[in-house]
Every structure is written in C-alpha cells, then in structure tokens.
C-alpha cells in the first residue's frame, strides 16, 4: 500500500503541480511514505500483544 500511494503522490506532483516548493513537499511525502511508514507499521505489529 505504501508504494502505490507514493507513486500516486509522484504522479500528482509532476502532473498537477508547478515546479516549486509545493512539488518538493509532495515528493518528500512520497519518500516518507516509502521509507518511514513501513517501519512504523512493522514496529506497531511487533508491539501488538493483544492478538488482534
């Protein structure tokens, strides 16, 4: 799920946004989506002790 949403963010950044700070911000969000979010989800799954 993280990769597909990152691709969608990149498409939006290049198709709909002009060059500038907003495009870089959206591309940064895509990088965070690929690198940081999976680690957070993995840590959450490892710390889940109630079996749900």
Determine the longest span between alpha carbons in the chain, in angstroms.
Answer: 47
In a domain, 51, yes or no: no
In a domain, 11, yes or no: yes
pTM equals 0.75
What's the CA gap between 6 and 14, in Å, rounded? 12
What's the CA gap between 9 and 11, in Å, rounded? 5
Q: How far, rounded to the nearest angstrom, does the alpha carbon of residue 22 sit from its chain's CA centroid?
A: 16
For residues 43 and 15, is the Cβ–Cβ distance under 8 A?
A: no
Q: How far, rounded to the nearest angstrom, does the alpha carbon of residue 2 sit from its chain's CA centroid?
A: 6
Render pLDDT for 1-52 as a digit per residue (tens, 0 to 9). 678 999 999 999 999 999 999 999 999 999 999 999 889 988 988 888 766 6
If one counts the domains in the chain, the total is: 1
Give the domain range for residue 18. 2-45
Here the tokens at position 29 are 């969000």
């Amino acid at each position: 799920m993280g990769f597909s949403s990152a691709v969608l963010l990149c498409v939006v950044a290049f198709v709909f946004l002009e060059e500038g700070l907003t495009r870089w911000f959206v591309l940064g969000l895509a990088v965070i989506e690929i690198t940081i979010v999976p680690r957070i989800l993995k840590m959450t799954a490892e710390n889940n002790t109630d079996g749900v």
